[in-house]
Amino acid sequence: MDLSIYDVIQKPVISEKAYQLNKDLKKLVLNVHMHANKPMIKEALKKLFNVEVTNICILVRKGKNRRVGRKKVQGSDAKKAIVTLAEGYSINLFDQAGDMTNIPTAEATKQSKE
């Protein structure tokens, strides 16, 4: 299957665990196309974001089985890539969402209301 670099990377995974991996270990968690392999992912990241990749781990999450009426159906599978960037390179996916360290605590908001 011939995939373009825009088809390989579908979207970033936005979760608490992905945020911690990005912040502490400079790793990215991305949803990728089911037919994408490690060289395709590495090439797509290099062309799109101008970064060097040192390691890529791929995992496939199987779709969950569930019931709809009397029928059993299976959800769609998803492929994720955990990408480790080389030293000196970074992609800040979470800066657009705001910095988590500047969130006011309950005590700070209580004091500001008084």
| Chain CA centroid to CA 45, Å | 13
Q: How many residues does the structure list for the chain?
A: 114
Please choose, from the candidates 44, 61, 63, 62, the residue with its C-alpha nearest in 3D space to the C-alpha of residue 53. Answer: 44
Q: What is the pLDDT of residue 63?
A: 95
Please choose, from the candidates 86, 79, 78, the residue with its C-alpha nearest in 3D space to the C-alpha of residue 27. Answer: 86
pLDDT digits (tens, 9 = 90+) for 63-99: 999 999 999 999 999 999 999 999 998 887 776 555 5
Compute the distance between CA of residue 54 and CA of residue 38 in angstroms, rounded to an integer.
11
Rounded mean pLDDT of 49-58?
Answer: 95
Domains along the sequence of the chain with CATH: 5-88 (3.30.70.330)
pLDDT digits (tens, 9 = 90+) for 39-51: 999 999 999 999 9
Taking the CA atoms of residue 30, residue 31, residue 35 and residue 40 in that order, the dihedral angle to the nearest 10 degrees is -20
pLDDT digits (tens, 9 = 90+) for 6-52: 999 999 999 999 989 988 888 999 999 999 999 999 999 999 999 99
